[in-house]
Amino acid sequence: MSAKGLVLLLALSCFSAFSSSFKTADQHYQDQEFDKAFQLYQNLATIGDAYSQYRLGVMYLYGEGVPTDYTRAIAWMQVADQNDPGLGVADSVTQIKAQLAQHNIDIEPSALAAETASLMSQYGKASVQEKFSPIPLLDRNCQFKPAGWVERAEPKFPVNAARAGLSGTVKLQYNVSAQGYIRDVEVLGATSKHFIAPSLKILPRWRQQPSQQTGLQLEGHQVKLEYQLKDTKVREAKLKALIDEVEQRANAGDIKAQHQLAETIIYWRTQLKSMGIELTNFKDANKWYHQAAAGGHPISRYELGRSMIQGKGCEVDVEGGLAWLRASAIAGYAPAQGELAKQLLKKPDADIKQAVQLLSDASAGGHYLSSVNLAWLLSTHPDAAIRNGQQALLSLEQNSENYFDEVRVLETQAASFAAIGDFEEAVDYQQEAIEQADDYGWSIPVMNQRLASYQAKKLWHGEYYQ
């Protein structure tokens, strides 16, 4: 009997609030791209995702992308059921066994038990918890340690907002270069557009202690700038009420609340500490990111993955962090796709084509930092088969409304024009970038080296941050 002869009755009774995060894997499956679907489900099953474990069972049952294996199919479904009984797989497994028996296909109980036990030892909740949970550390013991500030002026309160009686916040994310400059600024959210411009105006003037290392000394740091007219005690009372309400929902298993609580800790750590609230370490945020990630929240998976790779509130665990990043990227979360590409490019045996595809997906998904990273890679890679200046320029035409680093964009445009042989344009853009850096008071010697290269009609190769 063929697997297609089975009537599969898997009416899953309960999906998580983020079942839509499996759209990418499910789409491959629906398009009968079984090899791709299997790989994505396997990646998600690795971090204990019960739905993906169930889908692997379906593929083994039908022989889709893999040889038909009824024992392994049922074993995967039993693992899914044990990890999340709420999926409603148990009754369907019983029905499948009955249908197989009607067609004289017997599943050896001992073989099924052994296969299920083997899978549970790798993919059961206890095993996954041990392999992919962050090992918490206090901030003072973490590898992730932002350098001290040389200069950090507060932004001016916008006149229009003051006249309107508006208070608010802006959430930002940025990198810090080896020279201590704030780079690759991304606006993650703002209560009012009035507060964005003064925030962006002040950031290029901030300075951290320079580092002796090359590249970036800090990546993806998140901050919140406040613009407040209200009394401090009133604001603290509202924050305390918010924390209490969200924490109650988070403890009750609300995945969105768990993510919200983690974000609140990240952005309000200083205020929480001054208020005597214990949730002031990155490890406290990681606890809730982890719970939300285990429940399927794609952004929590991304944030948790980054924390584990950076050693932010936990011990450094690159492989564990990559597993969470892959899960978020599979969900189609563009920043995770871009971050995964960046991590892949750090490996000595980097798969450049895979990195380009991930960056292209992230760029198409609206992540402009990935557009810039893609353009630089396509413009400066030493392999002519990888270089594509025209595609680089097209990448830079994506919507950039939430990304702010004019110097980097100008330099990337210069490199892109050089890649298509238009060195005159490359020189113009590089000179403009140098002028903008001078306006900020930045001293970056490699910028003049790039200019000299273009003036000599030579391509530039290498990482952007050196």
Give the model confidence (pLDDT) of 210-265 as tens digits: 998 889 999 999 999 999 886 777 788 888 898 999 999 999 999 999 999 999 99
Cβ proximity of 99 and 6 under 8 Å: yes
State residue 15's pLDDT score. 39
419: buried, middle or exposed (CB in 10 Å: 19+, 13-18, 0-12)? buried
276 band by pLDDT with thresholds 50, 70 and 90: confident
137 part of a folded domain: no
Cα–Cα distance, 84 to 49 (Å, whole number): 9
Q: Which long-range contacts (CB under 8 A, 24 or more apart) does 40-44 make?
A: 40/330, 43/323, 43/326, 43/327, 43/330, 44/327, 44/330
**Model confidence, pTM:** 0.87
State residue 199's pLDDT score. 95
pLDDT tens, residue by residue, 362-400: 999 999 999 999 999 999 999 999 999 999 999 999 999
**pLDDT at 4 exceeding the cut of 50:** no
1 band by pLDDT with thresholds 50, 70 and 90: very low
State residue 381's pLDDT score. 96
**pLDDT at 7 exceeding the cut of 60:** no
For residues 154 and 113, state if they share a domain: no
CA angle 134, 139, 143 (to 5 degrees): 70
For residues 267 and 386, state if they share a domain: no
State residue 233's pLDDT score. 79
For residues 237 and 287, state if they share a domain: yes
**pLDDT at 421 exceeding the cut of 80:** yes
Q: Provide the number of structural domains found in the chain.
A: 3
106 band by pLDDT with thresholds 50, 70 and 90: confident
Radius of gyration of the chain (CA): 25
For residues 96 and 207, state if they share a domain: no
For residues 151 and 71, state if they share a domain: no
Domain boundary among 255, 290, 321: 321
b/e string for 319-352 if b means 16 or more Cβ within 10 A?
A: ebbbbbbbbbbbbbbbbbbbbbbbbbbeeeeeee
Mean pLDDT of all residues in 293-319: 96
Cα–Cα distance, 339 to 346 (Å, whole number): 11
Q: Quick one: what percent of the chain has pLDDT higher than 70?
A: 95
Across the chain, mean pLDDT equals 91
C-alpha closest to that of 53 among 23, 87, 100: 87
Mean pLDDT of all residues in 421-430: 98
pLDDT tens, residue by residue, 399-411: 999 999 999 999 9
Mean pLDDT of all residues in 328-347: 94
C-alpha closest to that of 201 among 230, 172, 167: 172
**pLDDT at 104 exceeding the cut of 70:** yes
- Residue 257 is part of a domain; what is its CATH number? 3.30.2420.10
For residues 127 and 66, state if they share a domain: yes
19 band by pLDDT with thresholds 50, 70 and 90: very low
Domain boundary among 72, 102, 131: 131
428 band by pLDDT with thresholds 50, 70 and 90: very high
331 part of a folded domain: no
Mean pLDDT of all residues in 324-345: 95
329 part of a folded domain: no
- DSSP state at residue 136: B
**pLDDT at 165 exceeding the cut of 90:** no
**pLDDT at 5 exceeding the cut of 80:** no
For residues 162 and 280, state if they share a domain: yes
| Lowest pLDDT segment from 8-12, 129-133, 154-158, 413-417 | 8-12
**pLDDT at 11 exceeding the cut of 50:** no
Q: How far, CA to CA in Å, does 447 sit from each of 3, 395, 410?
A: 62, 22, 11
State residue 23's pLDDT score. 53
State residue 6's pLDDT score. 54
Query: What tokens appear for 126 in the block?
Result: 């206890």
Domain boundary among 131, 162, 196: 131
327 part of a folded domain: no
DSSP string covering 396-415: HTS--TTEE-HHHHHHHHHH
SS3 call for 458:
coil
For residues 266 and 394, state if they share a domain: no
State residue 371's pLDDT score. 98
- DSSP state at residue 371: H
SS3 call for 42:
helix
For residues 54 and 25, state if they share a domain: yes
Mean pLDDT of all residues in 43-62: 94
Query: What tokens appear for 307 in the block?
Result: 């924390």
Cβ proximity of 37 and 25 under 8 Å: yes
- Residue 411 is part of a domain; what is its CATH number? 1.25.40
390: buried, middle or exposed (CB in 10 Å: 19+, 13-18, 0-12)? exposed
**Whole domain around residue 253: which residue ranges?**
147-321
Q: Which amino acid is present at 444? A: I
| Lowest pLDDT segment from 88-92, 205-209, 231-235 | 231-235
465 part of a folded domain: no
State residue 229's pLDDT score. 81
State residue 289's pLDDT score. 97
State residue 17's pLDDT score. 38
For residues 200 and 262, state if they share a domain: yes
138 part of a folded domain: no
State residue 24's pLDDT score. 77
Mean pLDDT of all residues in 436-464: 97
Mean pLDDT of all residues in 53-62: 95
For residues 397 and 285, state if they share a domain: no
Query: What tokens appear for 14 in the block?
Result: 């309960």
- The sheet carrying 168-177 orders its strands as 216-227, 168-177, 182-190, 403-404
For residues 157 and 100, state if they share a domain: no
State residue 274's pLDDT score. 80
CA angle 308, 312, 315 (to 5 degrees): 60
C-alpha closest to that of 378 among 408, 407, 418: 418
